[in-house]
Amino acid sequence: MNIYRSLADGFGRKVTYLRISVTDRCNLRCVYCMPEEGVKLVSHADVLSYEDILRLVNILSVHGISKIRITGGEPLVRKGITRFIKDLSGIKGVNDIAMTTNGLLLEPFAAELFDAGLKRVNISLDSLKEDVFLRITRLGRLNDVLNGIYRAKEVGFYPVKVNAVLIRNINDGEIIDFVNFARAHEFNLRFIEYMPVGLNAGETVTSKEVEDRIKEAFSGFMPLNDKSDGNLSVNASVSKDFTFSDNKAVIGFISPLSKHFCEGCSRLRLTASGKLRTCLFYDNEYDIKKLLDENNENTAGNDDIIFKYIEDALKQKKQTHLFNEKAENFKNRICSGDIDTGWANDYMNKIGG
């Protein structure tokens, strides 16, 4: 028997969007995401297999999950990613597959990913200057990322979204350069507020401050809703979007710190080791890997039990996150040298952002 009801949390928010971290491994070590020496990695045996992810998506798509984002770690370092995306895109009900990548390997992968059914790509780019790029990412070449971004546009991804995390006195001097870059290539640029999750990389620059600096420099900068003829299509669910009177780019602000977007939250997250998280900012994890295990006598061939387990997990989701309180706690713990406990371990590479 299959129970055809939409997935929703205890507050009636429909869950339609699954973010899948396919690996916790990465070819960069961004200062706000990973410590320089890297993190203790999930062993290969503990990584959720593509087969298990596909089974989970098959279960969830029946109940309303239609949108998927592939993230990591760096998703392009996991072997077989193109084949996996092709299989995902064949699942009935899944109509939007996107990826967040650091772009280092995008140039060689872009065409095959597009052909496999990946619809949209977000590329992280925190500086347009080689030395600052290296200071933030600790590894990697800026040019490889830029070539990946250009290639993505060339093979047909649209819109190409570029994500920048600003840290005061490191890259916030580049706000106008980023905007000019987006306008020159008609990219969709999003500024994401730096969240001190697990690491203390510096000071957050709020979305409001960035918006004000752009308004000072560009006279025709306006909220996107005021301009309905804009031809760069966007998904404005968590991003507050702006454009220019000449339509040259969309600039979005994602403000998890200054303006949380819990109200319309439709997300569920899957970690590389097969744990479900109902909120980025709560530590509760639900081990779905052991339920998907084909040797599990209780769940083998019984998708309804797995769905019910996920439904119950969602019922425990809080109405809103308390990130700022947690951030205060975290700062206190950094000062006392206690950075290895609790949520401080939850580096973004594990959760997938």
Buried b (16+ CB within 10 A) or exposed e, 186-216: bbbbbbbbbbbbbbebbebbbbebbbeebee
Question: 22, 28, 162, 205: which one contacts ligand SF4 (CB under 6 A)?
Answer: 28
CB 269 within 8 A of CB 276: yes
Determine the interface stretch with ligand SF4 among 30-38, 85-93, 170-178, 296-304 (rule: CB under 6 A): 30-38
Identify the CA nearest to 252 among candidates 244, 260, 243.
Answer: 243
Cα separation values, 128 from 136, 173, 271, Å:
11, 11, 30
Question: 23, 100, 206, 266: which one contacts ligand SAM (CB under 6 A)?
Answer: 100
Distance in angstroms (rounded) separating the CA atoms of residues 154 and 285: 39
- Least Å distance between CB 40 and ligand SF4? 15
Cα separation values, 169 from 111, 178, 204, 230, Å:
37, 16, 10, 33
- Least Å distance between CB 74 and ligand SAM? 4
Residue 239 touches which of ligand SF4, ligand SAM, none (CB < 5 to 8 A by kind)? none
Count of residues for the chain? 353
Residue 278 touches which of ligand SF4, ligand SAM, none (CB < 5 to 8 A by kind)? none
Helix (H, G, I), strand (E, B) or coil at 171: coil
Question: 15, 18, 26, 81: which one contacts ligand SAM (CB under 6 A)?
Answer: 26
Question: 7, 30, 121, 214: which one contacts ligand SF4 (CB under 6 A)?
Answer: 30
Using rule CB under 6 A, residue 122 touches ligand SF4: no
Using rule CB under 6 A, residue 73 touches ligand SF4: yes
Identity of the residue, 204 or 266, whose beta carbon is nearer to ligand SAM in the bound complex: 204
Instruction: Sketch the per residue contact string, 44 through 83, with ligand SAM: x for CB under 6 A, - otherwise.
Output: ---------------------------xx-x---------
Q: CB-based contacts of 312: which residues, under 8 Å, 6+ apart? A: none
Identify the CA nearest to 265 among candidates 18, 87, 30.
Answer: 18
Identity of the residue, 73 or 202, whose beta carbon is nearer to ligand SF4 in the bound complex: 73
Distance in angstroms (rounded) separating the CA atoms of residues 172 and 212: 13
Question: 64, 140, 252, 353: which one contacts ligand SAM (CB under 6 A)?
Answer: 353
- Least Å distance between CB 338 and ligand SF4? 23
CB 275 within 8 A of CB 52: no
Instruction: Point out which residues bind ligand SF4 (CB under 6 A).
Output: 26, 28-30, 33-34, 72-74, 102, 124, 348-349
